[in-house]
Structure 1
């Protein structure tokens, strides 16, 4: 894809607005809270920063994904969670405070880890392909379109909390709209590649999602977390910021074909999340029923 105003200006601006909206939902206490939940934070970060890239590599090998799909899956794996994971944790009645805190911290870490892992992925999978990639430019770009807008949003939240609370849902809706538009645009542009690899890609994305959730659950049990934190960590590990993945593919790398995997995963990840939410609500109902039985 040639560099255009859409890929170089409008798309990064849209993501910056989304990240600004995330900042509106954050407070300084979200970061201070991290020190009070060291085991939960450790489980979440291990799953996101280490578990997901290793899992993506395993899925790529097992499903023998082509270069564009393989790099696309790695882009999904190296990106942090977004506001979607916070919303899903709210629906699951899990630990929303932990979810917001993990999202904030993972976005901070992503500025360093994502460029490094993207560079390694290109060296490993895209040998011989013409891909322009700059570690420094990518890190600076991620800072400009993610951390900086989040920081500005937090400042606005601090001084204008009432306005921030009213406006944040608007940005959340905007983020969903941008994701849908990106998925449609990538589908149209890369229709041939998508149709030839759809079945394989769907299975790979579904496997990656379900095993990602399983990693979140496994690490939570390893760290002896309660059910609330376990559900939260599972969702944070299994739900990624696919909009950011697509932006890296289209704007930073100039390869919209690398964004196909993120587009498909952006839809598939809701299936695993729905199962997680269902299990969590079933657990809560069981606890309520047991308490009622004991009282009788």
Structure 2
């Protein structure tokens, strides 16, 4: 069991490399990985169940203890990234499906890897976890609403169906994981060390499936999508940091909110894009999954030197 825990920790620490490797494999071996497309939704459910196994009441207590700071993070998350996405789709010519995919990434809640990056950046990790928790719980309502408002000019958006899907994809497995903590705590404690391995496996298979399903589109316009993703992600860090500073927050909290804003739950975006739009619309999410883990580590390293 200790060997499994060590291996799981190693895989978690080298997350970005595994995502990059499987993105390349998905592109080189599309026939093999395209078969995983129907498993994207169940894989995301497994990831969210794992998150439910680790979330605690302390994470939500932080919301009530520091409502203003958490509020700044949550509002920044659901305001900055969607508006940046819309701005980029206006400036850079792109296929309507790609544009919808970029906006969908921006409308999703924060990703759990932001908590790790905030810790590495010597930021306020408790604030990061609280913001991720709140945006995840708010996603069933906020994400479909934002998509209806911002992306319906590119593709038809069924906000109600998306609402139901997010409940099933995120909140149900999250709640089941949280419930498991209460019902079988000993079993959960034994399973927790293996969770990084499970989460990384789920994400890399989702990325590989999306890349495989859209190999032709990536070969044709992958560079443009990559540039858009890099700009979206990088501007998210910058504007998030500036928004936190404008709100009068201290340096540790600025770091947390900057990383929280820049890093998205791209697994959810990939699942929703595949279910409601097209494999091409899921490509920005797949590339974001690869890039934001690389950029997050770089940003965390830079921010850790700021005092």
CA gap of 1:7–1:270, structure 2 versus 1, over 3 A, is closer
Q: Distance in 1 between matches of 2:251 and 2:36?
A: 43
| Structure 2 partner of 1:38 | 67
Shift in Å, 1:208? 0.6
Residue 18 (str. 1) matches residue 47 (str. 2): yes
Residue 108 (str. 1) matches residue 131 (str. 2): no
CA gap of 1:199–1:98, structure 2 versus 1, over 3 A, is same
| Structure 2 partner of 1:256 | 279
| Structure 2 partner of 1:266 | 289
Three-state SS of the structure 1 residue aligned to 2:221 is helix
Q: Distance in 1 between matches of 2:123 and 2:45?
A: 28
| Structure 1 partner of 2:10 | none
**Would you say the 8 A contact 1:26–1:157 is kept in 2?**
no
Corresponding pairs, count: 274
| Structure 2 partner of 1:155 | 179
Match of 1:61 among 90, 95, 108: 90
| Structure 2 partner of 1:78 | 107
Shift in Å, 1:213? 0.4
Q: Distance in 2 between matches of 1:169 and 1:57?
A: 39
- Tell me how large the CA RMSD over aligned residues is: 2.1
Report the more deviating stretch, 159-168 or 59-68.
159-168
Work out which of the two has the higher radius of gyration on C-alpha atoms and give 1 or 2: 1
Matches within 5 A, 1:85-104: 85-104=114-133
CA gap of 1:166–1:47, structure 2 versus 1, over 3 A, is farther
Shift in Å, 1:59? 1.0
| Structure 2 partner of 1:246 | 270
Three-state SS of the structure 1 residue aligned to 2:306 is helix
Residue 237 (str. 1) matches residue 266 (str. 2): no
Residue 167 (str. 1) matches residue 191 (str. 2): yes
Matches within 5 A, 1:201-240: 201-240=225-264
**Would you say the 8 A contact 2:128–2:256 is kept in 1?**
yes
Q: Which stretches in structure 1 are left out of the alignment for 5+ residues? A: 285-296
| Structure 2 partner of 1:183 | 207
TM-score by length of 1: 0.85
| Structure 1 partner of 2:166 | 142
Q: Distance in 1 between matches of 2:189 and 2:216?
A: 43
| Structure 2 partner of 1:291 | none
Report the more deviating stretch, 211-220 or 91-100.
91-100
CA gap of 1:215–1:167, structure 2 versus 1, over 3 A, is farther
Report the more deviating stretch, 67-76 or 223-232.
223-232
Q: Which stretches in structure 2 are left out of the alignment for 5+ residues? A: 1-33
Three-state SS of the structure 2 residue aligned to 1:124 is coil
Q: Distance in 1 between matches of 2:189 and 2:251?
A: 28
TM-score by length of 2: 0.82
**Would you say the 8 A contact 1:83–1:172 is kept in 2?**
no
Q: In the TM superposition, what whole-angstrom CA distance separates every residue of 1:24-53 from its partner, at most 9, and x where no partner exists?
A: 111112112112222321221121111111
